[in-house]
Amino acid sequence: MRRYRKTKIVATLGPASSTPKRIEELFRAGVDVFRLNFSHGSHRDHAERLRVIRELEKATGRPIAVMADLQGPKLRIGSFADGKIELKAGAKFRVDLDRAPGDQKRVCLPHTEIFEALEKGTDLLLDDGKIRLTVTKCGDGFAETKVITGGPLSNNKGVNVPNVMLGLSPLSAKDRTDLSFALSLGVAWVALSFVQRPEDVAEARKLIGDQASIIVKLEKPQAIDRLEEICELTDSVMVARGDLGVEMPPEKVPMLQKRIIKLCRTLGKPVVVATQMLDSMVSSPTPTRAEASDVATAVYDSADAVMLSAESAAGEYPVEAVEMMNRIIREVEGDRVYQQIINASHDEPEPTVSDAITLAARQVAETVNASCIVTYTTSGSTTIRASRERPAVPILCVTANERTARRLAMAWGVHAVHVEQEQRFSAVVKRAVEVAKAAEFGGTGDKIVITAGVPMGTPGSTNVLRVERIP
């Protein structure tokens, strides 16, 4: 089945969307990538969801990507004797390592790494930034603070420490267990939470190897400080605007979003825009106009994918949210201004044969009015190059590597098809014609542009371009 849009949709599975019927409904409504959130649910839950996805994949013949999103080193306070307190602005409040239940004057903060990094004047943000404390005094395992912004505070709320580099690995003990399990399931993507430095990506790469591709979630200002280095090391990036917007002024997030998307496109790294995109659809069948504009902006900015979180995982209208996102994307991509914006932001290709061929494929396809560009690839690098060019015609990826086909479900404009390995270019041409016709990317008399690497099966060796007419 063909999608008539280029920007992809990622949807999170959860209590509202885990039955086989509901997962199929989400897929047919437009989901390209399913996200398994390891912050919630058991391994059994995630394994069952993936089993359903694989059966759906087999039934539809369309590769489906699965993303395992690791929780990361989520920082939380301890509990209170009465379950909840009310903090008043100007009051004194202590955080420490004492695991005894908290009260109006103190609470446990069971993270030595935080106390090691604190100094006078450091801000602590609690409960997604609703509570703001400023450190007035700190020492070994404690900090005295002044309440700047008060409010209700209950058990186990999250803690953010903006503008402070914490000595934390991006992979907790739980994450390492979850990672091993996710890799055993054969997920295409692993998302890393709360990355601070390039070394965090390198650490994960050692564990993951080539078993899955890495997507870095940009949630920390420290990561933004070393953005280029991190993007060079990762396979993809997620603009995780929730935590990023807690630790940074909200007015800075839109510009960061545009900057990150631009950099990722330059580097040929798929980029996902996430968090609260259609948030009101958790409880409403329609989004706000501002939310519709938010999704549209990400599409105009040339994001590879947009993501639903609570909307599809726990909301009352998960299928409707996907359908709405699909409609918004198609409306934007049908706007003549959209392609003008895409073309205006085009980067110069790298001085390589593969990039030259890929650029030529886009130009030739548009000149001869081809119905699609067909990329025959092993590793996916040829197809990612084609996606980076943002051609006006769709990209049909033909690959003998099933993992590659699934991974490329994330990439802008790409429809991947898994086929048997071909050894000769003439066979590739024949197969490309067959697949284009079968997948409804071209009919009798239509032209298609084919790129491949000769000898066949050599990653990153794109060196052939051919125009073929479908008989």
Q: Indicate which CATH number applies to the domain containing 113.
A: 2.40.33.10
The predicted structure's pLDDT at residue 460: 65
Residue 346 lies in a domain: no
Helix (H) or strand (E) holding 174: helix 173-185
Q: Can you tell me the distance from the alpha carbon of 282 to that of 451, in angstroms, rounded to the nearest whole number? A: 43
- The mean per-residue pLDDT over the stretch 40-54 comes to 97
- The mean per-residue pLDDT over the stretch 391-405 comes to 95
Residue 361 lies in a domain: yes
The predicted structure's pLDDT at residue 32: 98
Q: Is the pLDDT of residue 454 over 80?
A: no
Which of 28, 54, 76, 327 is catalytic? The answer is 76
Buried-exposed string 384-406: b where 16+ CB fall within 10 A, e elsewhere: bbbbbbbbebbbbbbbbbebbbb
Q: Do the Cβ atoms of 159 and 77 come closer than 8 Å?
A: yes
Residue 414 lies in a domain: yes
Question: pLDDT class for 458, splitting at 50, 70, 90?
Answer: low
Which of 7, 145, 234, 275 is catalytic? The answer is 275
Claim to verify: residue 299 and residue 383 sit in the same structural domain: no
Q: Is the pLDDT of residue 199 over 90?
A: yes
The domain tally of the chain equals: 3
Please state the pTM of the whole predicted model.
0.92
Claim to verify: residue 128 and residue 244 sit in the same structural domain: no
Claim to verify: residue 126 and residue 64 sit in the same structural domain: no
Higher pLDDT, 144 or 160: 144
Question: pLDDT class for 339, splitting at 50, 70, 90?
Answer: confident
The predicted structure's pLDDT at residue 420: 87
Claim to verify: residue 124 and residue 207 sit in the same structural domain: no
Q: Identify the sign of the CA torsion 309, 315, 317, 319.
A: positive
The predicted structure's pLDDT at residue 25: 98
Last residue of a domain, one of 283, 310, 339: 339
Claim to verify: residue 296 and residue 444 sit in the same structural domain: no
Claim to verify: residue 201 and residue 176 sit in the same structural domain: yes
Residue 65 lies in a domain: yes
Which of 132, 217, 265, 431 is catalytic? The answer is 217
- The mean per-residue pLDDT over the stretch 351-372 comes to 91
Q: Do the Cβ atoms of 304 and 271 come closer than 8 Å?
A: yes
Q: Do the Cβ atoms of 220 and 201 come closer than 8 Å?
A: no
290 CB contacts (<8 Å, ≥6 apart)? none
Q: Can you tell me the distance from the alpha carbon of 268 to that of 148, in angstroms, rounded to the nearest whole number? A: 43
DSSP type of residue 195: -
Q: Is 53 exposed, middle or buried (0-12, 13-18, 19+ CB in 10 A)?
A: buried
Claim to verify: residue 107 and residue 64 sit in the same structural domain: no
Q: Can you tell me the distance from the alpha carbon of 76 to that of 127, in angstroms, rounded to the nearest whole number? A: 9
Residue 28 lies in a domain: yes
DSSP type of residue 348: P
Claim to verify: residue 67 and residue 182 sit in the same structural domain: yes
Q: What is the amino acid identity at position 365?
A: A
Q: Is the pLDDT of residue 176 over 70?
A: yes
Q: What is the largest CA-CA distance in the chain?
A: 79
Q: Is the pLDDT of residue 450 over 90?
A: yes
Of 234, 212, 213, the C-alpha closest to 223 is 234
Active site residue 226: no
CATH number at residue 187: 3.20.20.60
Claim to verify: residue 320 and residue 265 sit in the same structural domain: yes
Q: Do the Cβ atoms of 318 and 17 come closer than 8 Å?
A: yes
Claim to verify: residue 370 and residue 452 sit in the same structural domain: yes
Residue 418 lies in a domain: yes
Active site residue 437: no
Q: Do the Cβ atoms of 32 and 2 come closer than 8 Å?
A: no
Q: Can you tell me the distance from the alpha carbon of 305 to that of 7, in angstroms, rounded to the nearest whole number? A: 5
Of 20, 57, 70, the C-alpha closest to 405 is 57
Q: Is the pLDDT of residue 120 over 80?
A: yes
Residue 311 lies in a domain: yes
The predicted structure's pLDDT at residue 361: 93
Question: pLDDT class for 424, splitting at 50, 70, 90?
Answer: confident
Q: Do the Cβ atoms of 61 and 86 come closer than 8 Å?
A: no
Residue 384 lies in a domain: yes
Q: Do the Cβ atoms of 30 and 325 come closer than 8 Å?
A: yes
Active site residue 99: no
Q: Is 337 exposed, middle or buried (0-12, 13-18, 19+ CB in 10 A)?
A: exposed
Q: Where are the beta strands (DSSP E) in 244-304?
A: 271-274
Domain span including residue 88:
84-160
Q: Can you tell me the distance from the alpha carbon of 21 to that of 291, in angstroms, rounded to the nearest whole number? A: 27
Residue 202 CA, chain-centre distance (Å), reads: 18
Claim to verify: residue 436 and residue 402 sit in the same structural domain: yes
Question: pLDDT class for 135, splitting at 50, 70, 90?
Answer: very high
What Cα–Cα distance (Å) separates residue 346 from each residue in 313, 338, 356, 421, 453?
A: 35, 13, 14, 33, 24
Which of 5, 6, 35, 388 is catalytic? The answer is 35
Active site residue 275: yes
Claim to verify: residue 145 and residue 196 sit in the same structural domain: no
